[in-house]
Structure 1
């Protein structure tokens, strides 16, 4: 068996390779798909400027990209691996699941990925042994016998027709609860990131569902705000795991003809989700958080979405406007400042916060203009214990009371 060539890149760290180590066609494909189009990896071709070397820089993504069957790229996080796992646990609401204890033994992103894949596949197999959840769905069909309610209007209009139009309820497993599981296993199987041990388990679970449901695409948003009850309560765990995979496997390629799909975590989006979910759990009881709040500027045609809005529970008053910035800047950019201050002004809020994963050389804490908005840059650090970093961030956040 011929193993693919694998190179490793770390977030925002430039890495060079001799010109003869990377096939020119592969380098061109990487540039076309992940630099020119998607801006996930900065690609510099061998030239006198680069001392005749390839130069690659990961632009804030973590994961695995199979460029071809012979050439793969692993994108490593700049944050400690156990903190990346901790961020994912919060962001996808899987922190409370007892099966996550085994994550402490994961030494790489691939081990983490396969650990979660194995859990999902095994839980689907367990549910299959007990019987997949079924529901009654309305169905209309022309039958040679009466089933359910007979459509008398059709019988009177076409008395010669031997087939009778019947409306009835079908008890079926071909419902979205199970279709989400099948689609997730399908794209996991195409990712090419499963280990030799886990891949057969995924195939077995997918085969079990394949005979019961129609395969159709789903997005990660289809896994949230679903209704659970006594008969399908265990699906909540399954759908939480599905959401993670649907969010990060081949998001832009699911409808294409790719034989393998990339597994990519957008660290900026993950940081935003992580901070939001951490705050939801740890905010004082007199405050509540609204994530990705939509604000219509002109009806519903022109609108914006604010990352994080914190309200006072009793008065429903906006206390803080927050915007996460997963950047390496030494100080907030002018555009970032203008944006968060504009949001605060629009919401009549006097506290505008920019949140960074590292301490800025030039942090900000000042009143801005006539609006009297206090603009601050705060840190929710990712290079140390996440819980301690979160508590430190929260203490700084609520340090200043809103000016009267």
Structure 2
């Protein structure tokens, strides 16, 4: 009888395993599917004859075989992981109260289950009020005229008793609800929800299943959507769906079991979090532009994480970029990148933002551009850390 086993890996902290613990099947799964998430060093003299696995800034759950799992743990406290999600996915609102009752999670499975429960409960609440419906254009062969008749076809095929009509149908089988159904389907397949949460997820899925077609949805479908007074409460639901869809990898079939990984890219989450926090809390008289596109010729362009601009003039004053890593010193490539950003936007100030204080803080001037390192810590209260960053962010009037 095979026994399930879970190996825990904390971000950037290597862990060694005995030779026999990594079978050829596990080694192949790691190399084929997760070489960007896990650095794998084979047994050698340098590793003391053992396997050496290091998580590369990802958090989540990886099923490598039906019996062998990797749990990728964050360095940040789980309550702060929730806090980062609040800002990153724009869930901070009085009507939503994302963190309420969720910050006491003790494990990554709890973390996943709690967010899944929150989404399922909100979907059920919306179902009790009635799911959003709207008119959807349809074309069909009908026994009677409905909407607009296709005259050309009626003339070309007078023997056809069915009439081709273009009409509108009031329906709930629309993308707004299809996103919810697909996300609940993905959550249900993950196997990560607790026994307490799984029934609620199934209940929410069944509430949609009766009238919604199960259609694969991507995280991109959750972004840039238009809402109105009738479906405004779908906005945070789609934000949560985006989180699950971005974090759910491709399933790997093993026999009759579908194993779905759950992976959060902490570098991307950190970038989204810092960006949204600063946009909500800009220095007085200034505002931030995010993902600012810059053309560099020959149909090439790049996007700057953040640009600090003056409210009165719109003039760019500084460029900022997040780096979710904890090096002793800033990398030369990152410095050159920031100088290029500053030149392209005609700024004299550039900042690299890290989650920890560098052992060798950066403060250099090159080509009349000053490049410095700042810290947005994830160790304690996030808002206090943000205020500390703001105080360290020099702003020229």
Same fold (TM over 0.5): yes
What is the aligned length?
Answer: 392
Matched, 1:401 2:389: no
Aligned to 2:138: 139
Matched, 1:194 2:190: no
Matched, 1:27 2:27: yes
Aligned to 1:213: 212
Question: Deviations for 1:99-157, whole angstroms, at most 9, x for unmatched residues?
Answer: 52112221122111101101111222232233211110111212111111222333333
| Corresponding residue SS for 1:361 | coil
1-structure distance, mates of 2:40, 2:110: 27
Question: Deviations for 1:2-28, whole angstroms, at most 9, x for unmatched residues?
Answer: 762011010111111222334343233
1-structure distance, mates of 2:301, 2:333: 18
1-structure distance, mates of 2:153, 2:32: 58
- Say if 2:189 and 2:259, in contact at 8 Å, map to a contact too: yes
How far has the Cα of 1:208 moved from its partner?
Answer: 2.6
Question: Deviations for 1:191-247, whole angstroms, at most 9, x for unmatched residues?
Answer: 221122222322232233223122222222321222222321221221121111112
Aligned to 2:275: 276
1-structure distance, mates of 2:335, 2:178: 44
Aligned to 2:321: 323
Q: Paired residue for 2:88, among 91, 109, 127?
A: 91
Q: Paired residue for 2:49, among 43, 47, 52?
A: 52
Unaligned runs of 5+ in 2: none
Does the C-alpha gap of structure 1 residues 335 and 324 become closer, same or farther in structure 2, counting only changes over 3 Å?
same
TM-score, normalised with respect to structure 1:
0.91
2-structure distance, mates of 1:3, 1:208: 36
How far has the Cα of 1:176 moved from its partner?
Answer: 0.7
Q: Paired residue for 1:342, among 340, 343, 353?
A: 340
Matched, 1:308 2:311: no
Moved more, 132-141 or 196-205: 196-205
Alignment of 1:138-287 (within 5 A): 138-250=137-249, 253=250, 259-287=258-286
How far has the Cα of 1:93 moved from its partner?
Answer: 1.3
Moved more, 315-324 or 142-151: 142-151
Does the C-alpha gap of structure 1 residues 154 and 99 become closer, same or farther in structure 2, counting only changes over 3 Å?
same
Unaligned runs of 5+ in 1: none
2-structure distance, mates of 1:216, 1:34: 27
2-structure distance, mates of 1:240, 1:335: 33
- Say if 2:86 and 2:98, in contact at 8 Å, map to a contact too: no
1-structure distance, mates of 2:281, 2:189: 38
Does the C-alpha gap of structure 1 residues 271 and 160 become closer, same or farther in structure 2, counting only changes over 3 Å?
same
Tell me how large the CA RMSD over aligned residues is.
2.0
Aligned to 1:352: 350
Moved more, 223-232 or 170-179: 223-232
| Corresponding residue SS for 1:218 | coil
Moved more, 282-291 or 151-160: 151-160
| Corresponding residue SS for 1:98 | coil
Does the C-alpha gap of structure 1 residues 102 and 92 become closer, same or farther in structure 2, counting only changes over 3 Å?
same
TM-score, normalised with respect to structure 2:
0.93
2-structure distance, mates of 1:276, 1:99: 19
2-structure distance, mates of 1:364, 1:49: 33
Does the C-alpha gap of structure 1 residues 268 and 308 become closer, same or farther in structure 2, counting only changes over 3 Å?
same
| Corresponding residue SS for 1:321 | strand
1-structure distance, mates of 2:121, 2:2: 29
- Say if 1:272 and 1:324, in contact at 8 Å, map to a contact too: yes
Matched, 1:123 2:130: no
Moved more, 44-53 or 342-351: 44-53
Question: Deviations for 1:13-46, whole angstroms, at most 9, x for unmatched residues?
Answer: 11112223343432332233212xxx21111223
